[in-house]
Amino acid sequence: MTICSSILDRVGHTPILALDGLLPAGSATLFVKLEGCNPAGSIKDRPALNMIERAEAAGLLKPGGTVVESTSGNLGVALAMACAVKGYRCVIVMDPRTNATNVAMVRALGGETDIVTEMNPADGTYQEARIARARHLAETIPGAYMPFQYSNPWNAEAHLDSTALEIHDAFDGGPDALVASVSTAGQITGIGTGLRHLGAKTRIVGVDVKGSVVFGGQKGKTAVTGMGLAWKPDNLDEAVVDDAYLVETAPCFTAARIIGKRFGVLLGGSSGASLFTAMHVAMQLGPDRTVLAIAADRGEKYLDEFYSDAWMRERDFPVDDDCDRLLAEARTLEVFRHPKAEIVEKRVAA
């Protein structure tokens, strides 16, 4: 048994689960990396800790300081955990749509929540108001530091020598394909860059939900927590992304529900998005290949949401959890963009 002096010592080294029997014969072997096993419950533990420690080293965050950030959920919980251990005040700016459990977890860890109520009427989101409020607080609170995860290079950096290395070593050089959902793009850029540096030939597949514009597309409302941006984040390095997919909301929830009932693991909706797309990739690649999906967080926070049949019915989402239907949908999924190919074409044309 390992004894640690700080819960922060347990960030990283998350398990990988083989999803045997989920896909039809002739598919690649599908695996999922369970980032919900990080101590605060999500992949965001990694960048939260890295952004704080890098800020400390750079003199941007000093003893007695305050960490201020705008986030819809997991990063706020991770920052609150790190601040509790390190002794910083933590103020997380959220909005009325933030999952109630995330709000409660931030507060339970000693963090403060600042809830904005001003919605952008153009797209029905609170992102702009949240960020503006967080910036105001960071400018007016003495000794405050705002990581601003969307543009912070320490976000993606957190995955270079941890997540990417863990994946590389687990698959003896990397899986044939890796699928990750995007929002701030820290994880896909960091993992993809890290695997490239390690010499892996892994195909990097990004997944966004319809209504988000990380990879382009039409801006609109999104319902998958941890996904959905009205702009392209500075953290996104499209040169490491081979294929990008846009998925509907319903299969994200169905995939997560099926994994819970068949493998005993509760995952979040963004994990469902990466798994749904990974099913498609695995069926395309064929046997003797490996596909790894990144599951960003656990699903307990969503028991009153998409794990609830009543909640799903109210929103006209299916509750049959029919795996054959989901696989049929996954099989017909089409690539939205080939970002890397487009970058190469532009360079050749130049």
Which positions are annotated as active-site residues? 44
Tokens describing residue 301: 């926070």
Which amino acid is it at 256?
A: A
Give the ranges where the chain is alpha helix by DSSP (H). Answer: 45-57, 74-86, 100-108, 127-140, 153-157, 163-170, 186-197, 249-263, 269-285, 309-314, 323-331, 339-349
DSSP letter for each residue of 121-166 = TTTTB-HHHHHHHHHHHHHHSTTEE---TTT-HHHHHTTTTTHHHH
Token pair belonging to 17: 């689960």
Q: Whose structure tokens read 């064929």?
A: 286
- Distance between CA 259 and CA 48 in Å, rounded? 27
Contacts of 122 (CB under 8 A, 6+ apart): none
CA distance 277 to 259: 14
Contact 67, 320 (CB under 8 A): no
